[in-house]
Structure 1
């Protein structure tokens, strides 16, 4: 199946071609026609399955078809659990709408930045991507009105419930028109979603995409056995000796992230940290710089790494191991995407070896180990 067969217009197909998407993912091939037909849609698909494009593309197609009769008011509301996801979706909308003859203004709003900064940008916004709390902040100041919403998207609805947004979501539903198209995506089939689904969706088309097994064969995995105090020098040695220019480094705490970045910078390596204690401006700047290649090394905690989606990321380094084998696979799965090879490196202390053994057993794959004591770091 091709994108041309899904009912998308030439400006969107041009954007898809420019972004080098060869063919639609399963969630896209099923969701795009359903959304274009005006149906409510419930999609269950894992993170990274292409679900953002599966609702962004048909929504933009609807705007394109109505270009002669459009009024510049807020028509689409996309609710998300995190600021990183809000920014990512907004960037996707911008990318896909590049060739539309009449631009569609979208805006991402979230906490962590002054409310006034976002309020002044609301004028003529047609698609709003928002976290629930910040949206209600705007409603309470009468800076936004939701009375003309035509399409509601709940993205990662399961995570919104996990993060305690039940009451906020219920308040928002009372503020928007009852007659609207509804699109709900989640990564799980959690029964906690039943109540929100029953109150939002009307005779939905249900699309379930089974999680694909990560193709670990595309990822070269290596583990270096190293004393804790030599992890920093080893990390710098690997970056310099292998001429790594784009590396995502995972750590377990905000403090470690800052310490690792400080030592990298001290040794002339361009690095930034992204974690929950950074200001939103700092996180946005770090993520943008990394995606554009202005920052070579991005040091991230697992939670803050949501929204980091780079198709051809060559290196992932586990400076510290995650708590679960599932998180390990998710981390290293940031590389080896789009049938392109990648490399995942883990720095393991003797104390971490038993935990790493469990990770390998659960993963069903042995990882080559190298004794770092045999290496001359040159630092």
Structure 2
């Protein structure tokens, strides 16, 4: 099926085509027609399934004829758990709306930066993407009003609840009009999410894309390399140069490790930048922007900082350090293999990691090809 068969307007379909999206993913196929009908939707889908576009496209379609008439009274509110995800989601809206003739304003607001510029930018906003705490600050300052919101999206609701935003979410929901469309998206349907589902959604359409139904995993080529601890750094540099990687996301276990690895890479002629919670929001935004634009080929990130990274054609992901859990492994490799574009997920496994790596494979039901590297000459790397 094509996007034009889902009920989207001609202008939105043209915007999709301009960004080279050729066919909708399973979550988009199921959700877009229901959102266009005004139904409440519960969407359960894993990372990389295309769920942001599943709600962004129909919302943009409706916003063309349902603009905010009063300044600072937003029509669409998207709640997200992190600053990085707020930026990611807003970029999806902005990238599509840039190709739509009717001008619509999307703004992301989040904590960790000065509130005053955000207050100024709220003028004329149609679609507001926000983290809960900063949104309540803006409401208290009367910089934004929620009484005319007609579409509410809770994106990554499971993470929002796990991060302790229940009270903030209750406060926000109390400020919204009762008559509105509710869209709840989550990677899992645990008890907390089910409680929100039961209290928030009215006669919802449930759209669930199970991992085995998602096409993203088919696009990812996985490979592991057995490497001694003291050879990890040189081997990483060997991989980057041998495969001529122009854009690669490298995962590490801790912030200090990220900074150390970036220093080593830069000292060896490989331009790299770190993304982690120890950096200011401005530095994180700048690092991610430089990586997205291809100015910096290597981004070294921790798991928490990488939650909001969504790059459409990212070709490589490297697990320099193993993730703590199998869920984190899936999240990491899901950064590549998106938008029908193939990607490679490479993992470095030291002798100390071997047992944990076996557990990850067992829990993810994967058999990942593993290659010895002891014979590779790393002199000069």
| TM-score tier (shorter) | over 0.9
Which deviates the most, 200-209 or 294-303?
200-209
Which residue of structure 1 aligns with residue 9 of structure 2?
Answer: 9
* Residue 293 to residue 198, structure 1, CA distance change in 2 (3 Å): same
Tell whether the 8 Å contact from 2:156 to 2:185 is kept in structure 1 after alignment.
Answer: yes
Cα distance in 1, alignment partners of residues 4 and 169 from structure 2: 36
Which residue of structure 1 aligns with residue 144 of structure 2?
Answer: 144
Which deviates the most, 206-215 or 245-254?
206-215
Give how far 1:111 is off: 0.8
Give how far 1:146 is off: 1.2
Q: What pairs with 1:48-67 in structure 2 (closer than 5 Å)?
A: 48-66=48-66
Q: What pairs with 1:217-256 in structure 2 (closer than 5 Å)?
A: 218-226=220-228, 228-256=229-257
Any idea what SS the aligned residue of 1:120 has?
A: helix
Any idea what SS the aligned residue of 1:288 has?
A: helix
Which deviates the most, 106-115 or 322-331?
322-331
Give how far 1:218 is off: 4.4
Give how far 1:47 is off: 2.1
Any idea what SS the aligned residue of 1:168 has?
A: helix
* Residue 99 to residue 332, structure 1, CA distance change in 2 (3 Å): closer
Instruction: Report Cα offsets for 1:113-142 as digits up to 9, x if no partner.
Output: 111121111111111000000001111222
Which deviates the most, 22-31 or 252-261?
22-31
* 1:346 corresponds to 2:331: no
Give how far 1:242 is off: 3.0
Any idea what SS the aligned residue of 2:294 has?
A: coil
Which deviates the most, 198-207 or 165-174?
198-207
Which residue of structure 2 aligns with residue 120 of structure 1?
Answer: 120
Which residue of structure 1 aligns with residue 329 of structure 2?
Answer: 328
Cα distance in 1, alignment partners of residues 244 and 344 from structure 2: 13
Any idea what SS the aligned residue of 1:306 has?
A: helix
* 1:170 corresponds to 2:170: yes
Which residue of structure 2 aligns with residue 355 of structure 1?
Answer: 356
* Residue 224 to residue 48, structure 1, CA distance change in 2 (3 Å): same
Cα distance in 2, alignment partners of residues 30 and 241 from structure 1: 41
Cα distance in 1, alignment partners of residues 303 and 243 from structure 2: 25
Cα distance in 1, alignment partners of residues 278 and 377 from structure 2: 35
Which residue of structure 1 aligns with residue 210 of structure 2?
Answer: 210
Tell whether the 8 Å contact from 1:360 to 1:367 is kept in structure 2 after alignment.
Answer: no
Give how far 1:65 is off: 3.2
Tell whether the 8 Å contact from 1:237 to 1:377 is kept in structure 2 after alignment.
Answer: no
Which deviates the most, 348-357 or 125-134?
348-357
Which deviates the most, 301-310 or 352-361?
352-361
Which residue of structure 2 aligns with residue 376 of structure 1?
Answer: 378
Give how far 1:216 is off: 5.9
* Residue 359 to residue 192, structure 1, CA distance change in 2 (3 Å): closer
* Residue 345 to residue 201, structure 1, CA distance change in 2 (3 Å): closer
* 1:288 corresponds to 2:299: no
Which residue of structure 2 aligns with residue 317 of structure 1?
Answer: 318
Instruction: Report Cα offsets for 1:213-240 as digits up to 9, x if no partner.
Output: 66368414131312x2332222222222
Cα distance in 2, alignment partners of residues 91 and 131 from structure 1: 15
Which runs of 5 or more residues in structure 2 are unaligned?
Answer: none
Tell whether the 8 Å contact from 1:155 to 1:185 is kept in structure 2 after alignment.
Answer: yes
Q: What pairs with 1:45-124 in structure 2 (closer than 5 Å)?
A: 45-66=45-66, 73-124=73-124
Which residue of structure 1 aligns with residue 132 of structure 2?
Answer: 132
Q: What pairs with 1:291-306 in structure 2 (closer than 5 Å)?
A: 291-306=292-307
Which residue of structure 1 aligns with residue 367 of structure 2?
Answer: 365
Instruction: Report Cα offsets for 1:271-319 as digits up to 9, x if no partner.
Output: 1111111111111111111111111000011111112222332222221
Any idea what SS the aligned residue of 1:372 has?
A: coil
Tell whether the 8 Å contact from 1:219 to 1:335 is kept in structure 2 after alignment.
Answer: no
Tell whether the 8 Å contact from 1:332 to 1:344 is kept in structure 2 after alignment.
Answer: yes
Q: CA RMSD in A?
A: 2.1
Which residue of structure 2 aligns with residue 153 of structure 1?
Answer: 153
Cα distance in 2, alignment partners of residues 233 and 225 from structure 1: 10
Cα distance in 2, alignment partners of residues 340 and 59 from structure 1: 25
Cα distance in 2, alignment partners of residues 71 and 63 from structure 1: 14
Provide the aligned length of Structure 1 versus Structure 2: 377
